[in-house]
Amino acid sequence: MSDQKKLWLLFIVSQPGKSQTPRIRLWRALKTLGVAVLRDGVYLLPRRDALYTALDEQAGTVRELGGTAYLLEVGTRTPEESAEFTALFDRGSDYAELVKMIRQRQAELPTWSEAQARRSLHQLQRDLNAIRQIDYFPDAGLAQAEEAVAEFDLAVRRRFSPDEPHPVSATIEPCDPTDFQGCTWATRTHLWVDRVSCAWLIRRFIDPQARFLWLKTPKDCPAQAIGFDFDDARFTHIGERVTFEVLLASFDLAHDAALTRLGMLVHYLDAGGIPVPEAAGVEAILSGVRDQSQGDDAVLEAMMPVLDALYTRFGQETN
């Protein structure tokens, strides 16, 4: 059989004893990989290097516990056999169920608070990502689910952040912090993750004496103020970067690994994408701070030590 024919991984396993714990752990690991079950103890995956490594690790664990495990590379003989194997990994029903859930939540959106809506959005994004990671042969179902999540994201933004900036295509110009000292900075009121994090970044790393204006609408921005995180502001979304990331690049702060790590968190909470472990906690804290604070000055004051602590923690992780 030629190497081109070795398209599949066959994992055959038998575990000794009556303890259910090793079996449960193995099944959870295999389920995370998205295996197809051919029969009890016999599992199939497409031939991918990362999947081979993952199954090989599971085989080693089974053998250490006294069981038997075989990891074989196999190939199909005919196009029909290949199609049958491929069909075992059809995620169409998973995507359809996700789209159905999104439609239900869109109908409920008018009755939700912003915190509820954003939590739901992030959960849907995580669900989509989980299916996408084991969708080895994507088809139209993936595109439909991605479109549905994007529509829900847009609906949340229109309801709770009608002035959310639209990404622009532009070059990020380098800025000298000495030209931005003692300035008035302006952004939209009712602070959320990107805006409050930008204000923290400005005060901690760019302009320690910064004064902030909270605008009811971007049209209220004074000509002398430095606007951020709204359309046509001096600093706003550029390409795939949220405003926090644009400020990092503009002021040559991206070399700070802890700030970059914080930028990933801000990006996820503001624009979605790759989930970040701390996201749910930070979102809950900010929601609670907004609920109990009188105005955006109080929100920023309360969030400064929270972001300080995150910056310290991320710095410890990257050292």
State the pLDDT confidence band at 163, using cuts at 50, 70 and 90.
confident
Instruction: Give the model's pLDDT for residue 115.
Output: 83
Instruction: Give the model's pLDDT for residue 319.
Output: 66
Instruction: Give the model's pLDDT for residue 6.
Output: 63
pLDDT, one tens digit per residue, over 81-125 is 999 999 999 999 999 999 999 999 999 999 998 888 988 998 999
CA-based nearest residue to 198, from 269, 127, 149:
269
CA-based nearest residue to 101, from 83, 81, 121:
121
Beta strands in the chain (DSSP E): 8-14, 36-39, 42-46, 68-74, 184-188, 211-215, 226-227
Determine the average pLDDT of the residues in 240-255: 97
CA distance linking residue 106 with residue 108, whole number of Å: 5
- DSSP per-residue codes, 187-247: EESS--HHHHHHHHHIIIII-TT-EEEEESSGGG--TTSEEBSSTT-SB--BTTB-HHHHH
**Residue in this structure with the two tokens 């959870």, named with its chain if needed:** 28
Q: How long, in residues, is the chain?
A: 319
State the pLDDT confidence band at 2, using cuts at 50, 70 and 90.
very low
92: which 2 tokens?
């169409």
289: which 2 tokens?
């701070």
Instruction: Give the model's pLDDT for residue 274.
Output: 81
108: which 2 tokens?
């409920």
172: which 2 tokens?
């990020």
318: which 2 tokens?
């990257």
Instruction: Give the model's pLDDT for residue 1.
Output: 42
Q: How far is CA 74 from CA 20, 23, 66, 137, 168, in A?
A: 30, 25, 25, 18, 48
pLDDT, one tens digit per residue, over 11-59 is 999 998 777 888 999 999 999 999 999 999 999 999 999 999 999 999 9
Q: Taking all residues of the chain, what is their mean pLDDT, rounded to a whole number?
A: 93
CA-based nearest residue to 89, from 148, 47, 150, 53:
47
pLDDT above 90 coverage of the chain, percent: 81
Give every CB contact of residue 10 below 8 A, 6+ residues apart in sequence: 38, 42, 43, 44, 70, 71, 72, 73, 74
Among 2-6, 108-112, 177-181, 219-223, whose mean pLDDT is lowest? 2-6
For the chain, domain boundaries: 3-87, 92-160, 177-318
Read off φ and ψ for residue 212, nearest 5 degrees: -120, 140
State the pLDDT confidence band at 157, using cuts at 50, 70 and 90.
confident
Read off φ and ψ for residue 281, nearest 5 degrees: -65, -45
Q: Say whether pLDDT at 65 is over 50.
A: yes
CATH number for the region 3-87 comes to 3.30.70.240
Instruction: Give the model's pLDDT for residue 211.
Output: 97
